[in-house]
């Protein structure tokens, strides 16, 4: 629920600092203080009506929307759908590659399988490492550098991603 997300956001912020920057944990804290815990309390970002089922039984919660609007920021650049997608995607891929760099993952395949089956990474990309092998690290690093200038160091590419961007022949998966 939202209460768990608030605790996780606070803990990750303490543990990883600016690497997990960009969001405002105060939004989640205000929602928790207002009793907006998610499905378990019957309301969170949505108001849940269990009599209508999971898919049709939720409507947008105006109380949550009011809290979100209090924290709304003025966009600092163009916010196209593609920008939103790449800002989420680039950080996800960077973190996966950083996990390999730091020895948390032992192989790229572990990261691809975990990302697709455990975290909901789009399966048609094959996982974050397969994506980089197919599309190249250079284009992602270029985008991340632009985002880094606008949004800050949470978009700084990790060293292993930079290494792959510098040498396009480097692959996470062998072609055999």
Handedness of CA 121, 123, 129, 132 (dihedral sign): negative
Q: How far apart are CA 157 and CA 85, in angstroms?
A: 17
Question: What's the whole-model pTM score?
Answer: 0.78
Q: How far apart are CA 162 and CA 99, in angstroms?
A: 14
Which has the minimum average pLDDT: 23-27, 118-122, 168-172? Answer: 23-27
- Structural domains of the chain, ranges and CATH numbers in brackets: 2-70 (no CATH), 81-166 (1.10.1040.50)
Q: How far apart are CA 39 and CA 1, in angstroms?
A: 7
Instruction: Return the closest-CA partner of residue 38 out of 48, 29, 30.
Output: 48
Report phi then psi at 103, rounded to 5: 85, 10
Crossing angle of the two packed helices 25-33 and 62-70, in degrees rounded to 10: 140
**Is it the case that residue 41 has pLDDT exceeding 70?**
yes
Burial degree of 168 (CB within 10 A; 0-12, 13-18, 19+)? exposed
Report phi then psi at 121, rounded to 5: -60, 140
Q: What is the pLDDT of residues 109-141, one digit of tens each?
A: 999 999 999 999 999 999 999 999 999 999 999
pLDDT band at residue 176 using 50, 70 and 90 as cut-offs = low
Q: What is the pLDDT of residues 51-97, one digit of tens each?
A: 877 777 788 999 999 999 998 877 777 788 888 889 889 999 999 99
């Amino acid at each position: 629920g939202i209460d768990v997300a608030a605790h996780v956001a606070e803990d990750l912020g303490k543990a990883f600092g600016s690497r997990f920057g960009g969001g405002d944990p105060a939004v989640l804290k205000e929602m928790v203080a207002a009793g907006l815990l998610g499905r378990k309390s019957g309301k969170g970002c949505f108001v849940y009506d269990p009599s209508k089922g999971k898919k049709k039984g939720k409507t947008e919660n105006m109380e949550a929307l009011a809290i979100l609007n209090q924290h709304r920021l003025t966009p600092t650049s163009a916010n196209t759908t593609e920008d939103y997608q790449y800002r989420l995607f680039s950080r996800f891929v960077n973190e996966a590659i950083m996990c390999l760099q730091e020895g948390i993952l032992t192989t790229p395949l572990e990261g691809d399988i975990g990302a697709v089956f455990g975290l909901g990474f789009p399966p048609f990309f094959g996982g974050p490492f397969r994506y980089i092998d197919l599309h190249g690290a250079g284009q992602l690093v270029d985008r991340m550098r632009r985002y880094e200038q606008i949004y800050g160091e949470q978009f700084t590419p990790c060293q292993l991603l930079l290494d792959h961007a510098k040498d396009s022949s480097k692959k996470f998966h062998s072609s055999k």
